[in-house]
Amino acid sequence: MGVFAWIISICYFLLLVMTLIIILTDRSNHNPSKAIAWLVLIMFLPVLGIFLYFIFGFDRRRIGASERDGQKFYEEFIPKLPSEVKSYLQTSEGYVDKIDPSYHNLVRLLERNNHSRVFYGSEVEIITNGYQKLEMLIEDLKRARSHIHCEFFLFRRDKTSRRIRDVLMRKAEEGVEVRFVYDNIANINIPFWYYTEMRKSGVEVKLFTRLSLSSIRRSLNNRNHRKIVVIDGQVGYVGGMNITSQTLRWRDVHLRIKGQGVHGLQLNFLQSWYNSGGDLDDEVAPYFPIAPIFTQNLMQIVPEAPDSRFPYYALSVVKVIENAKKYIYIQTPYFMPTESVMRALKSASLSGVEVRIMVSRKSDFAFMDWAIQANYEETLEAGIHIHEIQDYFSHAKSMVVDDYLSIIGSSNLDYRSLELNFEINSFMYDEKIAVQNKEIFLKDMDDCVELSLVEWRKRPWWRKILQMIMRFFSPLL
């Protein structure tokens, strides 16, 4: 063996040892199954496994980049706010007391750690039809007079996206400020000229992750899964619906908000805009007009960032489940919870709480079905009800608890949303909204078949093997 070959071998050995040490000490691997999955992958595919780990597996949360970026944003942004808006963007004082005391710990967890203040008096409309949401959004965009702020995970070059793009371009030409942030990788197949045309019309377009060598890994693994629209600081949209023709046909849940809750969406959009390289105006008051009080609604707009120091959304979901007294109804397209969330669900069910999970029999990715179904047996064993939608794909991301708390937003109940993606969700402490959300769930049950543990155990042996394999690697998906 030549000298060069020895040098390559030694370098590879050192890289392998370093990778193994990082995997074993990476605090995101608090779930041993995730660390074991990476170790097995590297054992069988050494070079490819190491490459994939540093692209998809290395935890940026240890860096705490989100806290630093957030601190920089707030130091520059908060002083520019008018005093009457600053008062309720900086503190939830006076509003927390209106929330059921059993949820105060949850409120404080979200408020103290990621600036998720409590907003009061918003008007909230739950939308479950993509075509309806598209037409409502277009009409609201046409009425814009001051500004339009959009942040999307998927924004395709199809008929639906073109309709939205044409409205945005037309409003920009009329003099309305239009800002647009999109995820790099999810829209990588969209040609650059598609956005160039938008820029020429006056739309300010930003990639969520600025292009640099250091940002490649973040772009590939930490996706911007948020869907936010803010119009004149008065109307906001948030939820699970992307802007594509395909997703219009899916069953989904989205929110149209008026009132203070829109300011929570605005604040999070502006931080995304700032972190994507956008400038903050000296005058920001037009972004936060005084909001009327429409209802008794109380809500927190809750962002999740994979480079924050802790997974606040995942922690809050566990706390919500542990706090439930009567029931928890969950709709999710991908049921692949982290170990902590799964333990909380099983604990709630075994304690007498009625827990129901609704998923589609077939997802939009065939290989995901095996990973989703890998969790079914232990879920059913704990007395948790699983309802499979038979004839269509549901992309809905919704949770309702005890006729009081509703969570609707962009997060799936899977590892990627709980740990890796940039997400945005609305936590609503509102009996009226909760009852409406529960009724939507119960109505959707008409399209479902409830799984039986006895029948599920009768599935073919080859399906069990495939599910076991996918279960092992599900933390990597």
Residue 279 amino acid letter: D
Per-residue pLDDT, 475: 55
- Ranges of the chain with pLDDT below 70: 1-70, 86-93, 210-221, 470-477
Who's near 132: CB < 8 A, 6+ residues apart? none
CA dist., res. 255 & res. 236, Å (int): 8
Tokens standing for residue 407: 């969570």
Per-residue pLDDT, 281: 81
* pLDDT per residue as tens digits for the range 249-259: 899 999 999 99
Q: Is 430 helix (H, G, I), strand (E, B) or coil?
A: coil
CA dist., res. 242 & res. 239, Å (int): 9
* pLDDT per residue as tens digits for the range 91-100: 666 788 899 9
Per-residue pLDDT, 228: 97
Q: Give kind and range of the element (H or E) at residue 386.
A: strand 385-389
CA dist., res. 141 & res. 162, Å (int): 14
pTM: 0.86
Per-residue pLDDT, 248: 87
Q: Alpha helix locations (H) across 210-352?
A: 216-221, 245-248, 260-275, 312-323, 339-350
Q: What order of strands is seen across the sheet that includes strand 177-182?
A: 123-127, 254-258, 235-239, 228-231, 147-152, 177-182, 204-207
Per-residue pLDDT, 7: 66
Per-residue pLDDT, 26: 61
Per-residue pLDDT, 81: 76
Per-residue pLDDT, 367: 74
Tokens standing for residue 280: 């903050």
Per-residue pLDDT, 217: 52
Tokens standing for residue 128: 């479950």
Per-residue pLDDT, 24: 60
Per-residue pLDDT, 97: 86
Per-residue pLDDT, 15: 59
